Chains A and B, each alone.
Chain A
Amino acid sequence: MRIRDRFAKTEARVAPYAFVSPFFIIFAIFGLFPLIYTAWVSLHDWSLLAGDQGYVGFANYRELFHDSDFWRALTNTVGIFLLATIPQLILATVLAQVLNAKLRARTFWRMGVLLPNVTSVAAVGIIFGLIFSRDYGIVNWGLGHLGVNPIDWQGHRWSSWLAISVMVDWRWTGYNALILLASLQSVPKELYEAARIDGASAWRQFWSITVPMLRPTIIFVSIVATIGGIQLFTEPLLFGSGVNAISGGNSGQYQTVAMYLVQQAFTGQRFGYASTVAWVLFLIIAVFAVINVALLRRIKSVE
């Protein structure tokens, strides 16, 4: 009996580690190691075929600093990100408010707004590529009826940014609305009742109760949107079809940083330089996350 007790005690102490270890071991190999190793590779001249060609210190970082293609890709990424995220968050907050009303066929509407998120990104890129096609696209056809000349959506910087932003918003607005809806439902109803008794308008209630109460969730949603937005890859890649899709249009007008990274690594065969791009991208995401939190902290002062 005593031996059994001791065995049980040891088992109880060891078991938790056994339970969490599959996650940690596999993540260490396929998640953490590559991330850290990227930093090491970025300090080398390293090519896809020839392998490590030697340590070069921060040469890749210096080159990146003067690389106008990188800066153009970064401008595209940030531009598309801002163009997509700001309307997306506003729309999602409004949509969450609408979905929070006592609606008939509640589940139906919720499924409706989530439907785009279930569609594959590859499909979205291809479909919107057609919708925004210059000659036979439905958008230009509609604009034609309003007297607007056909727009070469892929051809210009502003128009390709806009079209890609529409794609991103189409896919993610409903998803974010549902997350915001969940947190709306935890706002005490009495707050709204008290506001109504005090004669606050629906608009006032929205700004003074809903938005401040949603603040933590808005922070969460916008950080997730930031991480996704800065890594944007598939939508712009498939927006421009053809064999050179990775270059994001003939003058790189909608090439994102993630696309530039892949181009450098696999077309240009420069692993070291592409790793530098990856680390800089990571830092940018971190900076944006911090800015996000700082900006959204200020929402509280509306109260």
Chain B
Amino acid sequence: MKTKNPLLYIGLIATLIFSAGPIYFMLVMASRTNNEIVSLPPPFWVGGKLSSNVDRVFDNPDVLFGQALLNSLIVASVATVCVVLTSSLAGFAFAKLKFRGRNAMLLFVIGTMMVPVQLGLIPLYMLMTKLGLSGGLESVTLPFVVAGFGVFMMRQFAEQAIPDEMIEAARVDGASTFRIFFSIVFPALRPAAAVLALLTFMERWNDFLWPFLTLDAEHPTVQVALSRLSSGYYSDQSLIMAGTLVGTLPLVVVFIVFGRQIIGGIMEGGLKA
């Protein structure tokens, strides 16, 4: 039976307006001229300048926006593939293999989720400089090719999704652990791996503080390029908003296509933690 309480729906619609409002506002601003934006009352409807504003974002030599989109795509994709792989391997081991020190190691993994990596910013910066990676894309990719959250999530999933008998049977048939992982376990982990991939991709795409500190002018990611757009000496609001819109669009598309899985993943992750 569906609820008929109209109050609930009114509350939900209000929430939705609050949620989507600023994003709609971004679209409106991105489609207007600067003069229209700085007028009262502010414009409420989408205007006709969207494509010319977007063109101006890509033409701006100070921010290298096209390059930034590509860079973000590379950084986020590499991190995603690595996180899914390393998390699946470790998650499977923690869930299904017995080894000395397992519990202590798992506790450590959970502990890493509590400690923000950002607190080690300064030595990380020094380390990257020593390794000669400072300024380039490696410096914002390498620290994020593993994730405690991912290991934990894959472990929770592996525990339920893979019957012990299946592993035993494969062992009796003479399969090595690696063989078992690649031909039985990994395929079974696919649904969780997909969710982890989506969450990781979004997180890396949105990463700001560390890329902001370490990347040099020639290698911006989208978020760094956005901050450059908005912190210049001039402030061209329609340009900034058009850039913000383009930088957010890939995520909105991913979200619309995979929203159900993403929500499932977040709810699952929170429940177990």
One of A38, A170, A241 near B230 (C-beta < 8 A): A241
List of 7 A-B pairs having minimum Cβ-Cβ separation, nearest first: A34-B120, A179-B270, A15-B177, A182-B267, A30-B143, A19-B93, A34-B123
Contacts of A241 in B (CB 8 A): 230-231, 235
Interfacial chain A residues near B122, Cβ < 8 Å: 34, 38, 41, 265, 271, 274-275, 278
Is there contact, CB below 8 Å, between A121 and B206?
yes
Select which of A8, A118, A237, A266 is within 8 A of B251 by beta carbon: A118
Which of A8, A111, A266 has the most C-beta atoms of chain B within 10 angstroms of its own C-beta?
Answer: A111
B117 touches A119 (CB 8 A): no
15 example contacts (A-B, Cβ-Cβ < 8 A) are as follows A8-B174, A20-B89, A34-B120, A35-B115, A103-B2, A103-B8, A111-B259, A118-B255, A119-B251, A120-B222, A122-B208, A122-B227, A126-B244, A137-B42, A182-B268
**B29's contact among A130, A182, A262, by CB below 8 Å, is which?**
A130
Q: A35-B120, A95-B15, A141-B40 are in contact. List 15 more A-B contacts (CB 8 A).
A: A4-B174, A23-B87, A23-B146, A27-B112, A27-B148, A30-B142, A34-B121, A118-B252, A120-B251, A126-B241, A135-B38, A137-B42, A170-B22, A234-B208, A281-B119
Q: How far is the CA of A56 from the CA of B8 in the complex (A)?
A: 61
The CA-CA distance from A8 to B85 in the complex, in Å, is 24
Chain B residues near A115 (CB-CB < 8 A): 19-20, 23, 252, 255
Asked whether, in the complex, the Cβ of B120 is within 8 Å of the Cβ of A38, the reply is yes
Cβ-based interface call for B124 (8 A): yes
B residues near A (Cβ < 8 Å) are 1-3, 5, 8-9, 11-12, 15-16, 18-20, 22-23, 25-26, 29, 37-42, 85-87, 89-90, 92-94, 97-99, 102, 105, 109, 112, 114-127, 142-143, 145-146, 148, 151, 171, 174, 176-178, 181, 202, 205-206, 208-209, 213, 222-223, 226-227, 230-231, 233, 235, 237, 240-241, 244, 247-248, 251-252, 254-256, 259-260, 262-263, 266-271, 273
Tally the A-B contacts, defined by beta carbons under 8 Å: 285
| Cα of A16 to Cα of B178 in the assembled complex, Å | 10
User: At the interface, is chain A mostly helix, strand, loop or mixed?
Assistant: helix
CB–CB B114/A126 < 8 A: no
Interface string of A267-278 (1 = CB under 8 A from B): 000010011001
* Min distance, Cβ A232 to any Cβ of chain B, angstroms: 10
Let me know if A84 is at the binding interface, CB within 8 A. no
Chain B residues, CB < 8 A from A234? 208-209
Determine whether A148 belongs to the interface, using a CB cutoff of 8 Å to chain B: no
* B2 A282 Cβ-Cβ under 8 A: no
Interface residues of A (CB under 8 A from B): 4, 8, 11-13, 15-17, 19-20, 22-24, 26-27, 29-31, 33-35, 37-38, 41, 95, 98, 101-104, 107, 109-116, 118-124, 126-131, 135-138, 141, 170, 174-175, 178-183, 186, 217, 220-221, 223, 227, 231, 233-234, 237-238, 241-243, 245, 258, 261-262, 265-266, 271, 274-275, 278-279, 281-282, 285, 289
Cβ-defined contact, A127 with B26, below 8 A: yes
* A217 shortest CB reach to chain B, Å: 7
- Chain A residue nearest to B270 (CB atoms) is A179
Task: Return chain A residues, CB-CB under 8 Å to B40.
Answer: 136, 141
Chain B proximity of A286: nearest CB distance (Å): 9
Bound CA span A75–B228, Å: 28
Q: With A127-B25, A136-B42, A238-B227 in contact, do A16 and B16 touch (Cβ < 8 Å)? A: no
Residue of A24, A261, A279 touching B105 (CB-CB under 8 A): A24
Residues of B within 8 A of A129 (CB): 230
Closest A residue to B180 by CB, please name it.
A15
Residues of B within 8 A of A24 (CB): 105
A289 vs B105: C-alpha distance when bound (angstroms):
22
Residues in B with CB closer than 8 Å to A110 are: 259, 263
Cross-chain contact A231 with B116 (CB below 8 angstroms): yes
A124 and B12 contact, CB distance less than 8 A: no
Cβ of A111: which chain B residues have Cβ within 8 Å of it? Answer: 255-256, 259-260, 263
Q: Which residue of A lies closest to B106 (CB)?
A: A20
